[in-house]
Structure 1
Amino acid sequence: MTGARVWFITGTSRGLGRAFTVAALAGGDRVVAAARDVGPLEELAEEYPGHLVPLSLDVADRERVFDAVEHAAAAFGRLDVVVNNAGAMLYGMVEEATEEQIRAHMDVNFFGAVWVAQAVLPHLRAQGGGRLLQVTSMGSGGGMATVGYYGAGKAALDSVSEALAMEVEGFGVKVTIVQMGGYNTGLFTAGTTNTEPMAPYRPLRTEMEAMWGDAVAPEPDTAARVVMELAALPNPPRRLIVGSQSFDHVLEMDRAQADLYRAWEPLSRMAPG
């Protein structure tokens, strides 16, 4: 895809979403930047007059998402690249999370992305094509203690996006699942809801917190360069891991999963199905 493009990006007030927005604007493109709080986008709007439209949006609100997408499509006359980036973190053990916390988390990380996809597809289909980048995680292939619900939401989006890619490719719409590694996005601070810790899980919680460690994650703009390159590809992949270390980790997890299947192959093959 060449020339000036129109982007619609969610979750743009900080982290990856903001980095994607800045990179697109710096490349001469125009952006409709959606966020719950558009205050942090004011400076960018002044720096790029006529190229950035901040849009207040809570992706958990389906009706509001459809209204926002209509506004976004009208702002510059089309949508070329849609980045489903908005997300949050629910940190804690599976047993600890309340129903309210779980539903609120999935409303953003899974349902919010689905609402955006449903809302933009009529526009992409009508114009004969476009890109839909579904931001998931390098860990979406398996769960991990303390971040099980985050992984669950990303895994659900991952699976739906595979189906979606098959469904819309005939319309010229290309879907890529963007499996992000760990970046300095503020997800574990400003974007986190914590469960109420339960005493039986204290040892494991301590172990997991030590594992997460204090290592400094790369800045989001290093990932933005990859996403800009991805958006420009005439035939993009259906799935892309973003991050060198994450690439190695995903391959390692895949090998471990394959080894587990093979270890129990005789038991699996006892059934004819």
Structure 2
Amino acid sequence: MSKIILITGASRGFGKIWAKALLERGDKVAATARNTEDLNDLVQAYGDAVLPIQLDVNNRDACFAVVNKVKQHFDRIDVLINNAGFGLFGAIEETSEAQARAQMETNFFGLLWVTQAIVPIMREQKGGHIIQVSSFLGLVSLPVLGLYNASKYAVNGLSETLATEVKSFGINVSLIEPNGFSTDWAGASAFQTEANEVYAPVKKAFFDAATPDSWGKPESTAKAVLALIDSENPPLHFLLGKVAYPWVKQVYAERLAEFEEWKEVSADAHGH
């Protein structure tokens, strides 16, 4: 039986790749974008199987209206892929208030609004799968991406909590946590802070550390995402790419060792 999938940020990158893969196998996709002209190729190729919708996820009312429109059009929504977001590159000191707020507004609050809109529908259906596109930078962190890291840590905290709240309604929650991939995320879709030269060495070290092999091929993710969607018992945390797992494993081992080193001082602080 074909599934009904709502994907935000489907105009390019992961969103468009996954939308095509789902449509190719016979699923139906409601695809959102700030500019629906970016979805014309999907409409031409797949006709009525795709529902293109204009959406700026920063607008909470619009998020609720779009989710309700998809429900009315297809009669149900089996899967939400909350994919809309962007990267902000720059040191934390360099980041303006407007940039910081914009990063959180889209990556965190936009995802929250769509999530809030869809939970009542999935609860009424007695089932569904909410897939939040986070990052392995919601588990570990890198310099020059402080606000992006923060937005994805927030997404992870929100979604881990959500999973415990909606499980009894038959709703699964998964966090897709990719390492770097060669999408527009670090290119045309990225934003930059105004550079302060004191951070030039940190930025140089950051960019020099990346090798061509560090970046995964976006098209290669489709098979894994289809497997996640089809799983009867999907994971809460789902890493994408070969860089993410060893990196997260190392950082978590170091974190546990640090906790261990300070555990007596920590326990003493309890007071009794």
Q: Give the TM-score of the pair, scaled to structure 1.
A: 0.95
- Does residue 44 (structure 1) correspond to residue 51 (structure 2)? The answer is no
**Deviation per CA, 1:163-206, whole angstroms, max 9, x where unpaired?**
10111111111111111222111101121110001122122122
CA contact (8 A) 1:131 1:175 kept: yes
Specify which of 117, 131, 139 is matched with residue 129 of structure 2: 131
C-alpha spacing 1:213/1:244, structure 2 compared with 1 (3 Å): closer
Task: Please give the secondary structure, in 1, of the residue aligned with 2:30.
Answer: strand
Specify which of 4, 9, 13 is matched with residue 2 of structure 2: 4
CA contact (8 A) 2:180 2:214 kept: no
Task: Decide which structure has greater helix share.
Answer: 2
Specify which of 144, 147, 171 is matched with residue 146 of structure 1: 144
Specify which of 229, 248, 251 is matched with residue 250 of structure 1: 248
Aligned-pair CA distance for 1:216: 6.5
Give the structure 2 partner of residue 19 of structure 1. Answer: 17
RMSD of equivalent CA atoms = 1.4
Gap runs ≥5 in structure 1: none
Partners of 2:232 and 2:212 in 1: CA distance: 39
**Deviation per CA, 1:191-234, whole angstroms, max 9, x where unpaired?**
11100011221221222221234557222221121111011111
Task: Please give the secondary structure, in 1, of the residue aligned with 2:73.
Answer: helix
**Deviation per CA, 1:142-178, whole angstroms, max 9, x where unpaired?**
3321001111000001001011011111111111111
Task: Please give the secondary structure, in 2, of the residue aligned with 1:50.
Answer: helix
Give the structure 2 partner of residue 91 of structure 1. Answer: 89
Task: Please give the secondary structure, in 1, of the residue aligned with 2:48.
Answer: coil
Number of residue equivalences: 271
Moved more, 255-264 or 143-152: 255-264
Aligned-pair CA distance for 1:241: 1.2
CA contact (8 A) 1:93 1:195 kept: yes
Gap runs ≥5 in structure 2: none
Aligned-pair CA distance for 1:7: 0.3
Task: Please give the secondary structure, in 2, of the residue aligned with 1:11.
Answer: coil
Give the structure 1 partner of residue 119 of structure 2. Answer: 121
Give the structure 2 partner of residue 66 of structure 1. Answer: 64
CA contact (8 A) 1:139 1:250 kept: no
The one-letter amino acid paired with 2:176 is: V
**Deviation per CA, 1:226-246, whole angstroms, max 9, x where unpaired?**
111011111112221122321
CA contact (8 A) 1:184 1:216 kept: no
CA contact (8 A) 1:6 1:80 kept: yes
Give the structure 2 partner of residue 218 of structure 1. Answer: 216
Give the structure 2 partner of residue 173 of structure 1. Answer: 171
The one-letter amino acid paired with 2:132 is: Q
Aligned-pair CA distance for 1:266: 3.3
Report 1:221-232 matches (<5 A): 221-232=219-230
The one-letter amino acid paired with 1:48 is: Y
Give the structure 1 partner of residue 32 of structure 2. Answer: 34
Partners of 1:236 and 1:103 in 2: CA distance: 32
CA contact (8 A) 1:7 1:83 kept: yes
Q: Give the TM-score of the pair, scaled to structure 2.
A: 0.95
**Deviation per CA, 1:229-271, whole angstroms, max 9, x where unpaired?**
0111111122211223212221121112112222333332332
Q: Taking every aligned residue pair, what percent have the same amino acid on both sides?
A: 34
Partners of 2:181 and 2:242 in 1: CA distance: 12
